[in-house]
Every structure is written in structure tokens, then in C-alpha cells.
Chain A
């Protein structure tokens, strides 16, 4: 131990749900570094709520694998950051404890669901933060807040201790102001964990390199088509032009399976969520039910009142999709669509090294702008394909539109996280 580190944040954006005022400073790669941790990642002795009333007061008796790694690397846990309840949202407005504001413009959302982590980094409260990305939840807020966020390849970072929303899609990943910071944090958290059977023995020992000469970049038509703000598209195209100047070549391509990507994504994540969140029944977590009623009625009361509207909606959608008679129509079909997305990427990656496009179709929304769920779901269209395929994807700031940051998204082959980091780093170095 190298002493104590004091943390006195001015949390004007409601980025944190809980903060440590002081913490031990360890020795290691992250010695002296304050790291914010999204509040769906279990921290021993620190309340972990997933921004849900149902987990209010829940203090995990164990650390998530990544939290153990942070501590071992000497980092200090600054606190737990706000999110859309259980990660379900794209704005961080679906938090039971109030929305997080975008530090770049407080009338706008920071994106989500890792909005608290992104805002904490963007506001300079912490150097780096951990987020989780199920369908864009790291990359979206990184783009909206003008910072860097990496969704690692599925299996590269242990999910043990991450309170599951959609197990087959989500990954824990780093957010930071620079690609180097993100890469350093990735180096700490990646690697095999015997507690996570889906984790891979692929540690990340990489220093970003700016040389991208000869790199082939695929430019999917779908990422610049309908629904994508033309101004955002123009900013991203210009950034890709910059990559060409650095020696990369671009190849037009197409991901036809994207037509079904959103549907496949929402069927999969709501199905898994309906099962994952079933344990929150008032027996062990949440407000005590009225036990004079039967079990099932008591469970219903608790779940009906302690979950937010979006969580209830997704639980119902998922329950429906898994019901007997509908499983084949929905869940099974979604898995087929998912395989098609993976195959499309495999095909494209035979010809190109990375795929580039906008992270989000628009700049950060105004608070309460996305009031109907469907238009919010549509905002995930450019981020969910990477989750469906499991491939690495990074968002790096690449300019502004209407004064708000725009993110350049770079997706790579499975387990080639190093390469997407390098491309982002090359761009970042060229423009700074």
C-alpha cells in the first residue's frame, strides 16, 4: 500500500450513485488512479444497485473479477456510477435515482446505459471508468460525451460479478479520455477467469501503435443510410478520410443481415433479462412483500412496484418471447438472425481488416426527447451488430455536429481488440 488517496468529487452531473471519499492507494499499473465502476458491477462492501429500487441496500459480499483485478493493479475505486436500470436504456434516464446529465451540454443525455461512467470521465472526475456494453452501452455514451470507449470481444473480459442483463451479448469494458488510457485499463481487466465459463485465455498486453499503413477498412452502406443524421455521417466520413491519409484504404461493403439485427437483439436481450431478473422477488432483495398474500401474489406486488417501467416492459417482452408456442417464432429465430450477422461479418473480414462507421446515428438527445421506447430502440442500430457477433468495437471522438461530439466506431475481427485500438489511436494521434 502506498497510502491513502482522497476523493472529493463535485458530482454536478449525477454521474455517481455512491462515491468513496477516500480509498487505499495500491501499487501497480493503476497505482494512484481513481477508477469509477458502473453500478451493475459487484463491489464487495459497496452498495450495488443497478440503479434499481429493487437492489437498494444490496451490498455484495464479493468483488466482481474485474474489480479484484483493479485492486490488484493498485487502482482506487472512486465510486459506483449511474446507469439505466439494469443497463436497459440508451440515455441513463431510466435510472431509479434520476438521470445523469451530459457534461458537454446539461440539457442533453450522456447516452447509456453507462452514462454515469462516461460523464464521470468526460467531466474529469476520474481518469478512467468501467462500463458494460450489451448493445452499445459503452460506445454510445462515449460518443455522446466525447470520450473513448471499448467493447471488448465477447469472452476477453470476465463477466463474473457483472449483474447480468443479457449474458450472451454483454461485456465489461473501459472508458477513458484517451485511447492509451482505455488500452491500459483493458490490459488490467482482460484475461481468463475460471469463474466465467465463457471467458477466453486471451490476455491483452498491448501498447497502441499509430501505424496503419496498408490497413483495409470496410465501409458498410448501412452505416451511412436511412436513419443516420447526414451531418453526423459527414463528420464520420471526414474522419475516415483522415485514416486514408494515414495510409489506409477503404472498401465499400454491406451487412444485409442488419435488417434483422435490432429485432434479433431485442428478442435475445429481453429473453435473457426476463430470466436473469426473476430472482428479484422480494424474498432476498428489495422491499419486503406483504407475506399475508400467497407467494405468487406477493412476488407480483414487489416486482410490479420496485422495477421501473422500461425494465417491466423488457421482462414482459422476454417472458412472451420464451413462452411455449412462441419460442420457435422469436427466440430461436433471433439466434438464426444472429448467426447471419456473424456470417456477414466473417465474410466482410475476409477482405478487410476493420469496419468503420458512426457509433450513433445522431448526436446526444435532449433530455426526455426519446419518450417512446421504439425510437429509442432504433438508436441502437449501429452498435448492436458488434454485440450480436461478439466482435470488438471501439468509439473514438472524431469531431462535432451542432457543437456536440460525434463518435467514430471501429469494429474488428473476433479477438482483434488490439487492432481496433491501434486504428483509434492512429486517428487520435493524427488529429491531436
Chain B
């Protein structure tokens, strides 16, 4: 019997929309998301009788950039094929894709493994294909009254990146996707923020059992969720002594579960054959002329060397193109002085605050972030106040209020750090000690916790402005004065 705690094996097929200006086989604009249905269409992408595809060279160039960045081998001759199947969103009743002669083969992507350290996930192939249209069901697919078809998406260039089954957990799968997204964004060929720009099919098995294909995952977080669900489902089946069926399952994002696809869908014979309206692609000689920009791994190394970032900070900061750019903007005026604090405050604090607000980094002003880091560096405010200032900054942006500078916020809220000769601090200590004779008693009896309690009380009274180090010294002196 298969061991229910056996090794999890995951392989991914990732479809990404290439961010070209026009579609793969016609001149229609790809910028359709803010427009009405069927407004970015022409005889070609509507599949009208007699219309023929003409290849958008830019899409091939983008795909070759990806292939080169992912260390793939560009084949001598690639070919487009027709994948034949009936579906109302597929206007020609076939999809032009690449089958037995994909553009690129092999290659790998390095991710951080679950054990820490780098690990290579091998790639099988990369190919180029057209996106089908989109169905909008009125009601649901089975019982709805009717469905509407929107062909704006039909013909958007996609690349499909197929990995080998080299990932060993749902978490590694998410890391693979994040790294892939970062790489594509560094190449300026992909915009992850566009709705529906990424779709993932995952193959997952427990060692010794059949493989299950999970289709229809459309978000980065969804991959980890869907696979985690599958691991639990499959392990439970094995534990109960049941067999895993080799099957296709759909991921239902809203419910976080996978569901077996109807068996009909699993019996497709796509009857692939070479697309007779397009000529074979001989583009291998292009590869040398393609110049790659700095990629995530190289930038990560540079961040460690140039800014002294820790591996973990460098990984986080370079894990997204925007974040990496943001960091470099924040520290630009004084890289040496600002980097250590900026790295911590961006990677550890800012990201958390943004996620909490579901807010995009785009809305944060790098200059304001520089200002905040400067205040922290100068010791003008405490870390606690720093967080408060950041929250005020973000909330102002989020609510569309006038944005104050960090300096103005500090001034308005009176957050300047208290110094030792600060009368307010001395008064606060006196108050705290007088108000808490029990704590004093405990401290006298050797309970260290009592001191922390008193520190907390003083902090409360000064609203966090007190420098913790100074406060500790002063409190100790005050207690000593009372003979404690």
C-alpha cells in the first residue's frame, strides 16, 4: 500500500498572457479590460470564414526572452499546430498552439527549497499559443438560461511553461510561481496585475499513487490552497486504503476545493496537426541578439553586495520588480546610510501593513518612505512611533486624504522621542511607580516581570515616545532612589 505520508510530487503548467500591444495573429489591441465585450475583435480573432492568422513577431520575441531567461534551448524549427475541440468560446473550433515542435525545450528555474537554500526546478518546454474567448454564464453553466461569449480575449498571446514534477510541496509550487512571475516581470513581458493574466494547471501525486491534474487555478495564492487541499484529500484516501484515481479536477476558487471533472472532458482527442496557414518558425539565430535585463537572482546578489542586505531581505525585496525598484528609489540619496534600515522597514514592516490593507505598493510615495527611514535613522522617533507614522501615511493614501510628510505627522502627533531630561518622562515614571505599589512590592521580591510591567505603564503614558533604552535606565534609577 502507498504510504499516506509519502513524498508529495508537483509539476505545473503555467499559462501567462504576454503583454504585447496587439494580439498574436491580428492587429487588435490587447488592452480590452476596460472596454465592452466584443469591441477588440476583427475577422481574424473572430475566426470568420476565410480569415487567416499572421504572426505577431513581438510575441515570439517575448517568448524567446522568457526561454533565454529560463535557460531553455530554442529549437531549430518550431511549428504551430491546431488543437481541435468544440467549445463556444473557441471561435474557430480549434486553438492555434504548439504541439510536437514547441519554441523551447529544457531549462530550469531556481527557487528557495523547503529545506532552505536554492533548488532547481527543471522545465520541460515553453510554447506559444492563442487565448480563447471567454464565456459569461447567465446563471450557472448547467442550469443558467444562456451564456454570452466575449471574444476580446480571443487571440491574446499566451506562453505555456511546463515544469518537470520537481516540486515537493504546495509551498514550493507557490515559490515557483512567484519566482516565475518576478522573472517575467523583470523581462517586461508580463503584467501580473491584469486580471486573468495567469492560469495554472497542476499535476499532483503522492509517491506511489496515480497523478491528479488540477485545472483552472487563476491566482498565486490559489495554487498553494488548491494543492494543499489535494494533498489532504489524497492522503486521507490513502489512509482509508482507497485508490487515487487518475483524473482531472477543477479548482473552485471561492470554496477552496477541487472537484472531479466530468468524464467526458477527460476523453478529448485533440487531433493535432500542423497549422497549414502558418510557416514553420526558424528563429534560433535570433537568440544571440536578445539582450536580457538584470534578473531576480542577479539583483538579489547585487542587493546583498551593494546594500548589505541579508539573504532573506534581498530575496523578499527582489521577489517583485516593483518592490525592488521601490527599495532602490528609497535609498537612492544615501545608499550606505539608509539601506540597512530601509531593507528592514520595507521588507518586514511595509509589506505587512500593505497586505493588511490589501493596498498596492504603487500608492506608496518612495520619498515619504525615505523621510520615515531618515527619522528612524536619526533616532528622532522610536520604532513604535515609526510604525504609527507609517500607518498614518498609508491610511491617508488609502482614504485619499492630503498626504502629510513623515516630519509633519511626527510633529502633529508629538512623537518626537523623549530624551533623559524630558520632564514629561520623569513625571510619567513617578506616576507609574506611585500608582503601582503592588508592582513595586513584586519587584522588591525579585520578580523581574514587574519591571516590564512598569516599563509598559510608562510607555502607555508617553504614548510610545520614550526611547526604551533610556526609559529602562531612568526607571532603574527611580527605583534605586526609593531603595528598591
Contacts and interface: CB of A to CB of B under 8 A. Distances in A.
Interface of A: 41-42, 48, 50, 55, 58, 60-62, 64, 159-164, 166-168, 194-198, 271-272, 274-275, 278-279, 281, 283-285, 291, 295-296, 299, 319, 322-324, 327, 331
B279 A197 contact: yes
Contact of B52 (A197, A275, A285): A197
B269 interface: yes
B91 interface: yes
Given A162-B50, A195-B52, 14 more contacts: A48-B49, A55-B49, A62-B43, A167-B277, A196-B277, A197-B53, A197-B278, A197-B279, A272-B276, A275-B273, A279-B47, A284-B91, A295-B86, A327-B273
B32 interface: no
Given A198-B277, A323-B271, A278 B50 contact: no
Given A167-B277, A299-B86, A281 B52 contact: no
Contact of B48 (A60, A159, A296): A60
B43 A322 contact: no
B403 interface: no
A281 B271 contact: no
Contact of A278 (B43, B54, B92): B92
Residues of A contacting B: mostly: loop
Contacts of B48: 42, 60-62
7 contacts: A60-B43, A197-B278, A197-B279, A198-B277, A198-B279, A295-B88, A296-B86
B50 A322 contact: no
Contact of A281 (B43, B86, B146): B86
Contacts of A323: 269, 271
Contacts of B271: 274-275, 319, 322-324, 327
A266 to B, nearest CB: 15
Nearest to B49: A163
A194 B54 contact: yes
A385 B51 CA distance: 27
A195 B277 contact: no
A203 B93 CA distance: 34
A60 B47 CA distance: 12
B82 A275 contact: yes
B273 A331 contact: yes
A420 B51 CA distance: 30
B84 interface: yes
B269 A324 contact: yes
Contacts, number: 100
Interface string B87-103: 11001111000000000
A232 B43 CA distance: 45
B437 to A, nearest CB: 81
B55 interface: yes
Nearest to B268: A324
Given A272-B276, A275-B271, A322-B273, A163 B50 contact: yes
Residues of B contacting A: mostly: loop
A60 B84 contact: no
Contacts of B84: 274-275, 278, 322
- Candidate in B43, B49, B94 with the most chain A CB atoms within 10 angstroms: B49
A319 B48 CA distance: 21
A167 B276 contact: yes
A181 B409 CA distance: 86
A279 to B, nearest CB: 5
6 nearest CB pairs, A to B: A278-B93, A167-B276, A322-B271, A168-B276, A163-B49, A161-B50
B52 A42 contact: no
Nearest to A48: B49
Interface string B258-294: 0000000000010111001111000000000000000
A64 to B, nearest CB: 6
Contacts of B88: 281, 283, 295
Contacts of A61: 43, 48
B80 to A, nearest CB: 10
Contact of B50 (A60, A274, A291, A299): A60
A278 B86 contact: yes
Contacts of B43: 60-62
Contacts of B279: 197-198
B268 to A, nearest CB: 10
B358 to A, nearest CB: 38
Contacts of A322: 84, 271-273
Nearest to B93: A278
Contacts of A196: 52, 54, 277
Contact of A161 (B51, B82, B92, B93): B51
B310 to A, nearest CB: 52
Contacts of A164: 49-50, 277
Contacts of A295: 86-88
Contacts of B277: 159, 164, 167, 196-198
- Candidate in A42, A164, A194, A279 with the most chain B CB atoms within 10 angstroms: A279
A50 B277 CA distance: 20
A58 B49 contact: yes
Given A167-B276, A197-B279, A198-B277, A159 B269 contact: no
Contacts of A319: 271
B315 to A, nearest CB: 44
A279 B92 contact: yes
A64 B272 CA distance: 27
Contact of A159 (B52, B82, B91): B52
A331 B53 CA distance: 22
A275 B81 CA distance: 11
A23 to B, nearest CB: 21
B42 to A, nearest CB: 8
Contacts of B149: 283
A276 to B, nearest CB: 9
Nearest to B142: A294
A55 B93 CA distance: 16
A148 B286 CA distance: 46
- Candidate in B269, B276, B278, B279 with the most chain A CB atoms within 10 angstroms: B276
B96 to A, nearest CB: 11
Interface in B142-169: 146, 149
A62 B55 CA distance: 20
Contacts of B273: 271-272, 275, 322, 327, 331
B52 A278 contact: no
Contacts of B49: 42, 48, 50, 55, 58, 60, 163-164, 279, 285
Interface in B43-90: 43-44, 47-55, 82, 84, 86-88
